[in-house]
């Protein structure tokens, strides 16, 4: 019978520790549900990913899970969440895109980056057409 009490004490201690860590993570606002809320935030994240990338056209996903951005040189960037961080890729001819009404599914050709479906509404068709004219990965634009 004594072994049962020891096991229950261990279980109770573990449970209290897990709950304390969960409370601490919530109190520190760790692992929150971060979303892109504005074009200014998307600009900031794009410049943080690739210094000097200054978008002139931005399409935000309606749920805030990603964005498509185009700069004055015609380069297009896909910005999306990856875990707790934001990641970005410049899109090139390896990009795979599928349009379904207001939704645009984009894959970069990188297995580790994966594909993302953005709800762009009426802008989805315009961005899908633009993705058909992407430069090759090694091409330089003047």
Question: Using H for helix, E for strand and C for coil, what is the string for 40-86?
Answer: HHHHHHHHHHCCCCCEEEEEECCCCCEEEEEECCCCEEEEEEECCEE
The pair phi, psi for residue 118, each rounded to 5°, is -105, 135
pLDDT in tens, the chain (142 residues): 778 888 888 888 898 999 888 888 777 766 667 889 999 999 999 999 999 899 999 999 999 999 999 999 989 999 998 877 889 999 988 889 999 999 999 998 888 888 999 999 999 999 999 888 776 655 544 3
Q: Which residues contact 132 (CB under 8 A, 6 or more apart)?
A: 97
For residue 40, count other CB atoms closer than 10 A to its CB.
10
Domain ranges (residues) in the chain = 1-30, 39-131
């Amino acid at each position: 019978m004594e072994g049962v009490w020891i096991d229950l004490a261990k279980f109770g201690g573990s449970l209290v520790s897990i709950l304390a860590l969960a409370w601490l993570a919530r109190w520190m606002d760790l692992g929150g549900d971060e979303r892109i809320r504005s074009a200014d935030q998307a600009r900031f994240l794009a410049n943080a990913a690739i210094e000097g990338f200054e978008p002139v056209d931005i399409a935000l996903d309606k749920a805030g899970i990603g964005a498509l951005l185009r700069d004055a040189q015609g380069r297009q960037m896909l910005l999306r969440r990856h875990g707790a961080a934001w990641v970005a890729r410049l899109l090139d001819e390896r990009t795979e895109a599928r349009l379904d009404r207001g939704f645009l599914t984009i894959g970069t050709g990188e297995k580790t980056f994966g594909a993302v479906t953005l709800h762009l509404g009426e802008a989805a068709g315009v961005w899908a057409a633009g993705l058909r004219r992407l430069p090759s990965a090694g091409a330089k634009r003047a």
